[in-house]
Structure 1
Amino acid sequence: MSSLPDLTAYDAVLFDLDGVITPTAEVHMHAWRAMFEQLFADWDITPPYTDTDYFDHLDGKKRYDGVASILRSRDVEVPWGDPSDPPEADTVCGIGNRKNIVFSRVLREEGIQPYPGTMRLLDILDAAGVPSAVVSSSKNAEDVLAAAGIRDRFPVVMDGVVAEREHLPSKPAPDVFLRAAEMAGVDPARTAAVEDAISGVQSAVAGGFGLVVGVDRGAGAHALENAGAHVIVSDLAEFADAHDATSR
């Protein structure tokens, strides 16, 4: 455990949100599953939707890009539409908006708690004066951080809203990570990135970040390694434990 890199040695640490800071990936997975199972049944699409589809086509991507990806995997083509499309519209944007309604309802009704191991690591970074930032494809990032009561821990939040406003391509392109580093005023080569999604790891690697940490919440250690992660852990508590062990 003590062989893990010391994250306090970096100029900043950029965190993905879903599955890294908060277990929102579970809420997203449930919302996607409910929505696509109904859609596939209504449209007689095969093979059936599975959680593997989430990791292969949805995890870490912008909502509309994820919808387009999974429909392409079933050879289904629909118009892209517009982000203003109503949720009942049979367009990529309409389908994405349909899912977002389910997600927002669950988040509002049940709330969310951040991962304890991640909070321990954030406390260590704060004490060392190392800034943290959020890099998320989600347009719900601000709501999730607020629901978890930790919005004030991150001076920089690079999310799907900012990416759309600035016309930045989604992960696995490096643009969102590079923009977050720019917003934080740090050099990517001296910055660590923490991701649980294959597309997110690929994004950080393509951006030339000094350390790319893969957190295996279900994508698989081998898949994260193949995507280019330098270090793989099952929980960020491993970094906190390593820091505590060397600080005794």
Structure 2
Amino acid sequence: MTASAIDVRWTDHAAVLFDLDGVVTPTAEVHMRAWSDTFNAFLALPDAPGGGDRSPYEPGDYFAHVDGKPRYDGVRDFLTSRGITLPEGQSTDPGDALTVCGLGNHKDVAFNEVLERDGVDPFPGSVALLDHLRGLGIPLAVVSSSRNAPAVLAAAGLSDRFITVVSGAVAEELGLPGKPSADTFVHAAEVLGAPVERSVVLEDAVSGVRAGAAGHFGLVIGVDRGVGADALLGAGADLVVSDLAELVPTSEGGI
């Protein structure tokens, strides 16, 4: 179902919860490059431990195993898909440690290097929707698996748009399981004082859409930035758009 087939009457909803990477900012591309560099460097090691399939990491691996998940969960799921076994390690492991945490930390360093060097501009359509929702006075939150969400929002100049940011770091601090569990979205709605059945979830990742559906949110909107509309609908999205500008009313009485 596309946005043209359903009216999104924003004033019927009490809160809107945005994923960040791929929904508000195009940082999903930065994450994809950072993951590719990290996994392919590991897979190419001549004496890498863990056995399993050492063929190169591909973009499809990102969407199937990593997209939208907390960093270490993404590492575990990708390694499992290849039959590779590594020790868990510690969150303090350096980026060259051959552990789940070491690989995750290597990716984090790579991501921040690209963000600091290149910055990030938000999607214009996403800013248009944020402007519209601000005009309506609807409270907004970011719910992101990334620990870097506050830094990304600051780089994009959008920190003041959201009442709360439930990042990967916040989820870890509160002991909340990451997507596809609904817990981080539920927590954000609670902070905003909004019931889940009157809250909207905006997600571009299958895992995030599944989280919105699992939490029985009032409306789950998939944003197709490459994973495919069918996959998002199959995961539980109520409708799918290719850009958030499609959700901004163009005339009185519109969506």
Same fold? TM cut 0.5: yes
* Residue-by-residue CA offset, 1:129-156 (whole Å, 9 max, x unaligned): 1111100010000100011111011111
In the TM superposition, 1:1-248 aligns within 5 A as 1=4, 3-42=6-45, 43=48, 45-240=53-248, 243-246=249-252
Deviation at 1:46, TM superposition (A): 2.8
CA contact (8 A) 1:113 1:148 kept: yes
Query: Which structure 1 residue ranges, 4+ long, deviate > 4 Å from structure 2?
Result: none
Residue type of the alignment partner of 1:139? R
Cα distance in structure 1, aligned partners of 2:16 and 2:62:
26
Cα distance in structure 2, aligned partners of 1:2 and 1:90:
49
SS of 1:52's partner is helix
* Residue-by-residue CA offset, 1:194-223 (whole Å, 9 max, x unaligned): 000000000011111000000000111000
Residue type of the alignment partner of 2:233? E
Deviation at 1:34, TM superposition (A): 1.2
SS of 1:244's partner is coil
Cα distance in structure 2, aligned partners of 1:23 and 1:66:
19
* Residue-by-residue CA offset, 1:8-58 (whole Å, 9 max, x unaligned): 321110000000000010000011111111111113843321000000111
Deviation at 1:246, TM superposition (A): 3.2
Residue type of the alignment partner of 2:128? R
Unaligned stretches of 5+ residues in structure 2: none
Q: How much identity, in percent, do the aligned residues show?
A: 52
Give me the TM-score of the superposition, normalised by structure 2.
0.94
Deviation at 1:2, TM superposition (A): 7.1
SS of 2:232's partner is helix
Cα distance in structure 2, aligned partners of 1:127 and 1:160:
29
Deviation at 1:245, TM superposition (A): 2.7
CA contact (8 A) 1:189 1:209 kept: yes
